[in-house]
Structure 1
């Protein structure tokens, strides 16, 4: 049976339905935040909702990560079998280590701490769901970079591009989760909605480690066969939550920065792809 290419592989109806569930949950969460989260006086008008919303506020962030993780796991099991498990273990371990260093030593993100809103924590520092969120955004970032730079001679460029796609997510995530809400707090206020600029460097460096691990594991051997359009939609569905919350809270600078970063990533992809093609032409002529 011939291997599928990213342009011909298609998701099955179960993974399409699961993605729609994630999208619906995302929309419901944003709507709840935009109404009751930003206008708590509405709760006074509907007192029976007040207690429910207090529980929901804690549930929705954790629930979104768990649902997104389950949706991606279903997709990977149906399209890659068990081949993705080594990558999951590696990326979970790398991101957990990076987060433990950040929450204990302030390296590489700056000083910060997670509040109790994200549930049970590793060693009382890092919520269990946080490394899962790194994985489910790192994988589609790598897949999109692979689609843009598919050649075996583009591995290094692919890692750089995928890390940029992953870091773009944080430009909306941090304002939404540490400024508009308080899922984590910074030890020292920074210029970007309270976030220190060191955090962006930390995100990119951590992204390099994650993408480097995927490259070292030769994950492209099975990622190449996945329906990349589904993974692109999955990336956007997860980006929509912090982006929608930032927009609802009026953090338009965060929205603009995220869109600009994605546009820059697209430009970088075109530039790197052009350089790869140019290098191949030189080799052919030689």
Structure 2
């Protein structure tokens, strides 16, 4: 277990560091590339250009892979292999299907295409890293909401509330993400027909909410009546992953002057995530058993070593 925790922390640090370096590159290096080239010797210009191109082409892939591994280890260690896989597989499959449908037909997000920078494209349309990011951000958002509502009754209201709140947190990330990824100096995708909301169609946000709510609902159904008795401290990893991803997108968007989308991301994403995290129980005093018509179901093992 100690080795898993160590690997999880290394990957989480790598995820955050990759975002920090990427943010610095996009805000400081790319906009001033010509000035930097003119200031260095001719012999070093080719090396500089090559390093910038390689970092821009591979940085997003490394960042997402670090996030995937960190959250996967966390889910395996904290929730167990069954709950981890029954969230990851629906999240990846449903989000990939929505992205392929979206890039092919324009539904449900709008008419858009991916550029380079996020890795190999599945069917020549969707980078393989995109559904992976949907998984680790989706699980982070859903767990924060689900654990905060653990004491809500009846049970169906708890599950519905967790799905809706989780999808809201997930979609709020996209308020800051869209301008950063499609409207700034180094875009990762573009809209064939720019929308009314800072270049993004309103339809896109409905697509994000619907897709994330769908795979969260599928996972909630597969998880059944399992009880997630996690401490507040055990939600630190999902919270850090969520906040660091929002911060990365917000930093780029703010540099481009997109303060309103970032404000919406903070109001409907960051602040609710912090409040929901705080609502989680600070301690677990006794093993909790789920009510199922007079029967008890063993709780999920949440030991943290």
What's the TM-score, normalizing by structure 1? Answer: 0.83
Structure 1 position 193 matched with structure 2 position 198: yes
What is the aligned partner in structure 1 of residue 118 from structure 2? 118
Gaps of 5+ in 1: 1-10, 274-286
Aligned residues: 262
User: How large is the RMSD of aligned CA atoms in angstroms?
Assistant: 2.6
Closer, same or farther: CA 222–247 of 1 in aligned 2, 3 Å: farther
CA distance in 2, matches of 1:155, 1:162: 10
What is the aligned partner in structure 1 of residue 26 from structure 2? 33
What is the aligned partner in structure 2 of residue 284 from structure 1? none
CA distance in 1, matches of 2:161, 2:127: 32
What is the aligned partner in structure 1 of residue 256 from structure 2? 249
What is the aligned partner in structure 1 of residue 102 from structure 2? 102
CA distance in 2, matches of 1:220, 1:69: 26
What is the aligned partner in structure 2 of residue 67 from structure 1? 66
What is the aligned partner in structure 2 of residue 4 from structure 1? none
Closer, same or farther: CA 26–117 of 1 in aligned 2, 3 Å: closer
Match of 1:178 among 154, 178, 182: 182
What is the aligned partner in structure 1 of residue 81 from structure 2? 82
Gaps of 5+ in 2: 281-305
Deviation at 1:220, TM superposition (A): 7.6
Closer, same or farther: CA 220–98 of 1 in aligned 2, 3 Å: farther
Deviation at 1:120, TM superposition (A): 1.4
CA distance in 1, matches of 2:19, 2:128: 20
CA distance in 2, matches of 1:34, 1:220: 46
SS of corresponding position for 2:183: helix
Residues 2-41 of structure 1 aligned to structure 2 (within 5 Å): 12-41=5-34
CA distance in 1, matches of 2:247, 2:271: 18
CA distance in 1, matches of 2:252, 2:34: 18
Residues 257-268 of structure 1 aligned to structure 2 (within 5 Å): 257-262=264-269, 265=272
Residue pair 2:144, 2:276 contacting (<8 A) in 1 also: no
Q: Deviations over 1:253-283 (max 9, x none)?
A: 332221122267469969xx9xxxxxxxxxx
What is the aligned partner in structure 2 of residue 281 from structure 1? none
Q: Deviations over 1:23-77 (max 9, x none)?
A: 2221111111111122222331242322210111111112211111121122223
SS of corresponding position for 1:118: coil
What is the aligned partner in structure 1 of residue 131 from structure 2? 131
Residue pair 2:74, 2:237 contacting (<8 A) in 1 also: no
Deviation at 1:179, TM superposition (A): 0.7
* Higher helix content, 1 or 2: 1
Residue pair 1:34, 1:249 contacting (<8 A) in 2 also: no
Deviation at 1:252, TM superposition (A): 2.2
Deviation at 1:19, TM superposition (A): 2.0
Closer, same or farther: CA 247–210 of 1 in aligned 2, 3 Å: same
Residue pair 2:22, 2:59 contacting (<8 A) in 1 also: yes
Structure 1 position 203 matched with structure 2 position 208: yes
